[in-house]
């Protein structure tokens, strides 16, 4: 197995935000290489407990090895964090003292050419699966989805202004020969973008992000998941969420606002009839961003935003 390396983003900010304590029960929805999980267990010693999930078999193996010093205090499940109800039931956990969700793709996944996540690995196969057991791949989407559906994915998930032109180029190119590598797809994307706009960062970045999101269903059910997971917190428990693009951040922000609301009735009604009570206090009125030093040391932290909330009922 290749070494699974990943630098945890805003590690200290997350740990302080979670307000860790001995005996607490914590949930890490994307364990990765266990950078955050290790510190959660270390700082909740001697008897804090961690429940973690991940879809990547290599990540789970690496995290299990990394967390070996805390044997008996953690359990890792191969599952999507959105299946938290099933996972917590299996772990016989009713409520949590803290939750961490880190939506970033790991350095290992990006750097491993065989995984096909990066437009900077030209010979990489178009894969992009977090869970390598699932059948849907980037190659299938690129070569089989309609032009209309491809344009929708690029526009909605990548916020790509040239989505229609890129989709048209993809469909035209695949009629000649199936698109199988990251390098070929990146060139097809670049050819659809006017030259003057190719200076605004790597031309294929937004499209690769969009296809990855579609492959893994990253935004599907995210709003409901944030609501439901937050409601599993004990009073005083905290949730910390790291996002890496505006779509994720917007969904988290909307979910936090809903949980913070005292009433969701139509404003025309004279009295509240919904019974909704304020459930959280938002700790971060504006999201926390990585320090200049961290961004210099880890460029992938540049787009990260951290939002934290505390359960109050």
83 and 223, same structural domain? yes
Query: Which has more pLDDT, 273 or 189?
Result: 189
The whole-number pLDDT of residue 108 equals 62
Q: Is 283 exposed, middle or buried (0-12, 13-18, 19+ CB in 10 A)?
A: middle
117 and 55, same structural domain? no
Q: Quote the CA–CA distance of 240 and 24 in Å, as a whole number.
A: 15
Average pLDDT over residues 233-251: 96
The whole-number pLDDT of residue 84 equals 98
281 and 200, same structural domain? no
The residue range of the domain holding 267 is 11-103+219-311
- 29: its two tokens: 């929805």
Position 233 pLDDT exceeds 50: yes
Question: Strands 74-78, 280-282: parallel, antiparallel or unpaired by DSSP?
Answer: unpaired
- 16: its two tokens: 């302080």
Question: Strands 233-243, 280-282: parallel, antiparallel or unpaired by DSSP?
Answer: unpaired
DSSP state of 196: G
Q: Is residue 3 in a domain?
A: no
Note if the bond before 276 is cis, omega within 30 degrees: no
96 and 39, same structural domain? yes
The whole-number pLDDT of residue 68 equals 98
The whole-number pLDDT of residue 6 equals 65
As a whole-number percent, the residues of the chain with pLDDT over 90 amount to: 81
What three-state secondary structure class fits 81? helix
Asked if 167 contacts 206 with a C-beta cutoff of 8 angstroms, the reply is no
Asked if 33 contacts 104 with a C-beta cutoff of 8 angstroms, the reply is no
* Kind plus residue range of the DSSP H or E element containing 32: none
Q: Report residue 105 CA to chain centroid gap.
A: 7
Domain boundary among 216, 248, 263: 216
Asked if 286 contacts 293 with a C-beta cutoff of 8 angstroms, the reply is no
Query: Which has more pLDDT, 73 or 270?
Result: 73
Q: Is residue 46 in a domain?
A: yes
Position 121 pLDDT exceeds 60: yes
pLDDT tens digit string along 122-156?
788 999 999 989 999 999 999 999 999 999 999 99
Position 41 pLDDT exceeds 60: yes
pLDDT tens digit string along 176-228?
999 999 999 999 999 999 988 887 778 999 999 999 999 999 999 999 999 99
Domain boundary among 158, 187, 216: 216
235 and 151, same structural domain? no
Confidence of residue 112 (pLDDT cuts 50, 70, 90): low
160 and 91, same structural domain? no
Nearest to 44 by CA among 238, 284, 304, 226: 238
Domain containing residue 157: CATH number:
1.10.150.170
Number of domains in the chain: 2
Q: Quote the CA–CA distance of 2 and 243 in Å, as a whole number.
A: 26
Asked if 209 contacts 240 with a C-beta cutoff of 8 angstroms, the reply is no
- Sequence-separated (6 or more) residues with CB below 8 Å from residue 253: 307
159 and 75, same structural domain? no
Max intra-chain CA distance, the chain: 65
End-to-end CA distance of the chain: 45
């Amino acid at each position: 197995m290749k070494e699974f390396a990943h630098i945890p983003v805003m590690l200290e900010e997350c740990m302080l935000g979670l307000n860790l304590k001995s005996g607490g029960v914590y949930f890490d929805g994307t364990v990765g290489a266990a950078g955050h999980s290790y510190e959660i267990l270390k700082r909740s010693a001697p008897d804090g407990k961690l429940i973690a999930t991940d879809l990547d078999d290599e990540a789970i193996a690496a995290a299990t090895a990394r967390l070996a010093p805390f044997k008996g205090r953690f359990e890792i499940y191969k599952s999507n964090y959105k299946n938290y109800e099933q996972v917590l039931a299996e772990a016989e956990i009713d409520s949590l003292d803290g939750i961490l969700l880190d939506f970033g793709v790991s350095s290992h996944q990006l750097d491993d050419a065989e995984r096909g996540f990066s437009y900077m690995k030209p010979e990489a196969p178009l894969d992009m699966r977090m869970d390598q057991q699932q059948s849907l791949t980037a190659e299938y989407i690129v070569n089989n989805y309609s032009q209309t559906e491809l344009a929708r994915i690029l526009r909605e998930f990548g916020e790509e202004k040239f989505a229609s032109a890129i989709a048209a180029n993809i469909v035209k190119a695949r009629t000649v020969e199936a698109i199988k590598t990251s390098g070929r797809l990146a060139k097809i994307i670049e050819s659809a973008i006017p030259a003057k706009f190719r200076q605004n960062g790597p031309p294929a970045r937004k499209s690769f992000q969009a296809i990855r999101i579609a492959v893994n269903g990253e935004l599907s059910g995210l709003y409901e998941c944030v609501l439901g997971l937050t409601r599993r917190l004990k009073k005083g428990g905290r949730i910390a969420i790291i996002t890496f693009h505006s779509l994720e951040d917007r969904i988290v922000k909307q979910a936090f606002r809903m949980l913070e609301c005292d009433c969701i009735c139509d404003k025309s009604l004279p009295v509240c009839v919904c019974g909704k009570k304020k459930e959280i206090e938002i700790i971060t009125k504006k999201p926390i961003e990585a320090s200049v030093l961290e961004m210099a040391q880890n460029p992938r932290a540049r787009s990260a935003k951290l939002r934290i909330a505390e359960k109050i009922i």
